[in-house]
Structure 1
Amino acid sequence: MEQTWRWWGPKDIITLAHVRQTGAAGIVNALHEVPAGEVWTREAIQARKDFIEQDKSLGLRWSVVESLPVHEAIKIGTGDLKPLFDNYRTSLRNLAACGIHNVCYNFMPVLDWTRTDIASPVPGGGRALKFNAFEYAAFDVFMLERDGAEADHAPEVLARAKAWFDASTQADRDRLLANIMAGLPGAFDRYDIPSLRTILARFKDVSAERLRENLGRFLEEVMPTCDEVGIRMGIHPDDPPRPLLGLPRIVSSEDHLAAVLALHPSRNNGLTFCTGSLGARPGNDLPAMAARFADRIHFVHLRNVSKEPDGSFMEADHLGGDVDLVAVVQVLLREQKRRKEAGLADWRLPFRPDHGHELLDDVGKPTHPGYPAIGRLRGLAEVRGVMTAVAQLEGLPL
């Protein structure tokens, strides 16, 4: 499998030379400075591609776009959406013209991945991302004061939430809001409480069924362009895979993934298979899901989580946690062999070590939450070892 690394652009304190030292050769990147809904110009794409590939001794290439964002208006499904669809199609054509053909995107309303603690301690002094159900409930019920929020939380979680809120300082509440906003990757759409209430109100009539219909419309609009220029689109699962702040989630379970793929028959309508996101939902069998949807997986995020009965979860070591990552890797390597034997030129699946603990010298450095160098390096090394062993034992191509 192609070893890739999410790199945040020229201002990332983790340099391209550092990335090469990890063993990765594929770069996962996006033009985060461009607001959602605007065109990624061919000139801007080519400039970023040239920057990534300028030092030939590194042997790097821009392998995957993560993400080409979908404007919130498309998810809501109202108003004149034609300019937004036109811009998205233009961006896809421009990416293809620059030789980039793998695009990750998500259809999560308002928020991207969501955590309540971005520096939860791990043994030895490292730090990890965590979703505490009671802190999320405290935010939803007592800070956001969303109508009907109490009904979405178990009584014991609400009790802990009230205790946390009553004992919290304004600094605690500000930190919780900042943590919840930390998953938004670009420079735009950071919400305070009033603005978050405003955007949530725009989604008040968007049920799961309607959101799925709006995703179907989006796919109908962009898939012909993908087929024309050879772009593979992989939708990222919901993170966490549960309704959030009253917002529906439609990419959280095996049935959800099947429904997404049924919305459009193009083989380019596919998945970003994220073991951490899907692994946080009880009942999801990740190896079985990978096997069922193997031929529609375009990109892979490999990480692990440890779940708690109340809905909380902690980002675990890549080979720790609840997900059988070895079994998932076996499925993916077998799928690679099938693609190679079928004569597909792009038979290698790109994957990246998703998230990682802050460890050693990375603790406290201004990296993006979940994206320190050493924790991801550790994850990549562990996963690389698993892949090498499985490939040798089963005679599979790496």
Structure 2
Amino acid sequence: MRQTWRWFGPRDLVPIDHVAQAGAEGIVTALHHVPTGAVWTPDEIARRQAEVAVMADGSPSGLAWDVVESLPVSEDIKRQTGAWRAHLAAYRQSLENLAAAGIEVICYNFMPVLDWTRTDLAWRLPNGATCMRFDLADFAAFDLHILARPGAAEDYDAALRDEAARRFAAMDDDRRTHLARNVVFGLPGAAERFSLEDVRAQLALYDGIGPDRLRAHLIDFLAEVAPTAERLGLRLCCHPDDPPVPLLGLPRVMSTEADFRAVTRAVDLPANGITLCSGSLGARPDNDLPGMMERLGERVHFLHLRNVKRESPDIRGSFHEAEHLGGDTDMVALVEAALREEARRRKAGRADWSIPFRPDHGQDILDDLGRRAQPGYPSIGRLKGLAELRGIIAALAPRVMA
């Protein structure tokens, strides 16, 4: 299992020097400044590779850009509207340019409007650490009373509507504004510039698009780009929905094992694969993460290893980001299943037998608390998670990979 680390580019408050000191073997990054739907040019790709390759004093970092996360899929492609065909052509050209640069693994997602959703980006734990949290009642208060989405009441039962009304009534204006900003933060780069009217307008564009239609659009997208990836020797890997349930009236189509199986069968190419995110999928109690790794492992091209603590037994419920070994997913069993898949691949002679993983998210601890890094991506919290995962691998690999 190849140890990688997500890096958001030169403005990331966790510099490449610190990533190298953490013992990561590769970098997961993206060209966040390139507009969605535009081509990633060879020059821009090479510039990011050069930034990864050196530390602050100019000495070699020993790191390379291993995984793209993410090459974004435009909303036009998801809806099949506007410039979607031009965006498909740009996506294919970006794949050509990434392959020419030697980058083989490309993570993406197909979540409409919001890439991920949390109601609190720094929820305080009893030990003083902070973490990201999704509180269903707070989210309902946002949806029903701040966004005031038409038809929202139909998505919540009476008890939850009552609790949301109580929560909203207890909030002052600052708290309401803060909650709205937290939810909108899932729009990459939009937290400071998207108004509630902007969000309403984005949601309206999905009127009439249900899960069956969105899934069909995902399959159409893959039918267009997966053959290119296959020809180039690339591995595409779709990230699951986060949280893995419908939100704001939007469909979700990559939330369960059945969802991933349907899409990988529909476009049955090895290049059409999965990012198995144990945190996103683990927010649903009916997702068996070690079992999914066993059954879908042939198509797992990338692993996000993180844990969440569910706060209810419901399919749709509150949860918070836990320590990597402290949530509801059996991380030891999941890593063992991944190592078994690697052993099968190596025996079969697959060149991609080593699966890249990264310690996804983490709690803000120690100096993280004053660093104010990208939410969910602290330095020390992820270092702690990587160390714990590295220990599991060191203990299990000699036996499983023998």
> TM-score with structure 2 length normalisation?
0.96
**Alignment match of 1:384 (pick from 387, 390, 393):** 390
Q: Any residues of structure 2 matched to 1:221-236 within 5 Å, and which?
A: 221-236=224-239
Once the two structures are superposed, residues 215-241 of structure 1 have per-residue CA deviations (whole angstroms, 9 ceiling, x without a partner) of: 011011111210121111000000000
Query: Would you say 1:127 and 2:130 are equivalent positions?
Result: yes
| Selected match of 1:342 from 335, 348, 362 | 348
TM-aligned CA deviation for residue 190 of structure 1: 5.0
* 1:164 positional shift: 1.1
Residue in 2 that maps onto 1:315 = 321
Contact 1:118 / 1:369 at 8 angstroms: preserved in 2? yes
The alpha carbon displacement at 1:186 in A equals 4.2
Q: Structure 1 residues 271, 216: CA separation in 2 closer, same or farther (over 3 Å shift)? A: same
**2-side partners of 1:28 and 1:187: how far apart?**
22
Q: Match for 1:120: what amino acid?
A: W
Deviation of 1:82 after TM superposition, in Å, equals: 1.8
**Residue deviations 1:250-299 (CA, integer Å, cap 9, x gap):** 00011111111122011000000000000001211111111110000000
- 2:123 and 2:35 mapped to 1: Cα distance? 31
Contact 1:93–1:229 (Cα < 8 Å) also in 2: yes
Alignment partner of 1:249 is 2:252: yes
Inter-CA distance 256–395: structure 2 relative to 1 (3 Å threshold): closer
Q: Displaced runs of 4+ in structure 1, greater than 4 A?
A: 186-190
Change over 3 Å in CA distance of 1:395–1:207 after alignment to 2: closer
Report if aligned partners of 1:32, 1:187 keep a CA contact under 8 Å in 2.
Answer: no
CA-atom RMSD, angstroms? 1.4
Relative to structure 1, is the Cα distance of residues 233 and 190 closer, same or farther in structure 2, using a 3 angstrom cutoff? farther
SS in 1 for 2:228: helix
1:107-127 deviation per Cα after TM superposition (whole angstroms, max 9, x unaligned):
000001110001111122110
Is residue 332 from structure 1 mapped to residue 335 from structure 2 by the alignment?
A: no
TM-score in terms of structure 1 length: 0.97
Amino acid at match of 2:21: Q
- Secondary structure, counterpart of 2:199 in structure 1: helix
Q: What is the SS of the residue equivalent to 1:370?
A: coil
1:384 Cα offset (Å): 0.7
Deviation of 1:395 (Å) = 4.2
Letter in 1 for 2:6: R
Call closer, same or farther: CA 1:187–1:198 in 2, change over 3 Å.
Answer: closer
Which residue matches 2:381?
Answer: 375
Within-5 A mapping of 1:157-306: 157-186=160-189, 191-306=194-309
Render the CA deviation track for 1:342-363: whole Å, top value 9, x for unaligned.
2222211000000000000110
Residue 79 of structure 1 is matched in structure 2 by 82
Query: What is the DSSP-based 3-state SS (H/G/I as helix, E as strand, rest coil) of the residue aligned with 1:270?
Result: strand
Query: Secondary structure of the equivalent of 2:132?
Result: strand
Confirm or deny: 8 A CA contact 2:113 2:187 kept in the other structure. Answer: no
Identical pairs, percent: 51
Question: 1:130 aligns to what SS in structure 2?
Answer: strand
In the alignment, structure 2 segments of 5+ residues that lack a partner are none
Residue 36 (structure 1) shift: 0.6
CA contact (8 A) 1:182 1:369 kept: no
Are 1:396 and 2:401 counterparts? yes
**Residue 141 of structure 1 pairs with residue 144 of structure 2:** yes
- One-letter code of the match for 1:36? T
* Distance in 2 of aligned mates of 1:346 and 1:189: 40
* Alignment match, 1:18: 18
C-alpha offsets along residues 59-81 of structure 1, whole Å, 9 cap, x if unaligned? 10101000000000111122342
- 1:189 deviates by 9.3
